[in-house]
Structure 1
């Protein structure tokens, strides 16, 4: 039992000695602190002036088409309501013809809505890619001028001390104001 306790104490001392030696060796490495930054890309895409301008352009470009689709949907609903109201007095052939027309108009409307959504998504992706490219250039510039060792995006947690999102947004806004 005494030998077991002695071996345990010896092992503990060996581990402590190895840990001390490792800390002594790593001390010079720790003296040079890493400069780390974090960018919240979601905030950049939401708050930067170029992102807001892109959103405004997209809304302006797509609002008329969206209104036209909504108007077409309202007309289709009105025609469907009218058919339902008139159905008891219509001849079977006329009722079938109008139902086919409504089905065809509904298919056309659904196709136009899909095309609209695809166009909107494509445009959103293009605008987002352009903003991300500009933001990455700004981040690289900050990285180089302020001598960062590492800049991260989209992390789980980051403290305010390393958050440089506001710097990135300000630089993007300044660049957008200069254009």
Structure 2
């Protein structure tokens, strides 16, 4: 009976020692994806492309918003002194413009979100390939992209951003 207890204890000690040795050899990394998507050159270029692509529509939306605001102020200020027919016509014009503005605003947001998702997917794909290349080159066992806490010692975000920015 003593022999089996002793052999179980010895096996457990050997198992723990083997796990400790394996854990000591495990190489772990962490990448802050949000930082990569903000700071890497391809992400910055994608953001600039989006801004340029949607600049005219954004200016048009701002112009329409100003027109709506001035129409509303005019109605509030002069509505009581206007003839009934004039006030009704101005209210109808205001409502038509408001409806058109809301439709265009919704379309603008949908188009912008779709294009942003396309651009970010492209950047994310490049970033993931870069992370995989770094992992293989530096023999990482695992690289996390989401963590509650990651020590700066295992953070390879700067390497990823640098590699992406150099176009590797």
Please, what TM-score do these two structures have when normalized by structure 1? Answer: 0.82
Query: Match for residue 12 of structure 2?
Result: 22
Q: Runs (4+) of structure 1 moved beyond 4 Å?
A: 14-20
CA distance in 2, matches of 1:142, 1:108: 50
Aligned-pair RMSD on alpha carbons?
2.1
Q: Which moved more, 1:23-32 or 1:127-136?
A: 23-32
In the alignment, does 2:27 pair up with 1:35?
A: yes
Aligned-partner Cα distance in 2 for 1:130–1:82: 47
2:154 corresponds to:
162
Q: Is residue 123 of structure 1 aligned with residue 115 of structure 2?
A: yes
> What are the Cα deviations for residues 105-133 of structure 1, in whole angstroms up to 9, with x where unaligned?
10111111111111111111111111110
Unaligned runs of 5+ in 2: none
**SS in structure 2 of the partner of residue 37 of structure 1:** strand
Distance, in Å, in 1 between the alignment partners of 2:118 and 2:48 is 14
Q: Cα distance 1:20–1:159, how it changes in 2: closer, same or farther (>3 A)?
A: farther
Matched ranges for 1:48-87 at <5 A: 48-87=40-79
> Partners in 1 of 2:146 and 2:5 — Cα distance?
38
Point out the more displaced range, 63-72 or 130-139.
Answer: 63-72
Report the Cα distance in structure 1 between the residues aligned to 2:67 and 2:88, rounded to whole angstroms: 19
Deviation at 1:74, TM superposition (A): 0.7
Note the residue ranges of structure 1 that are not aligned, 5 or more in a row: 1-13
Per the alignment, residue 166 of structure 2 pairs with 174
Distance in 1 between the 2:108 and 2:72 partners? 23
How many aligned positions are there?
A: 163
Match of 1:4 in 2: none
Q: CA deviation at 1:19?
A: 5.8
Greater C-alpha Rg: 1
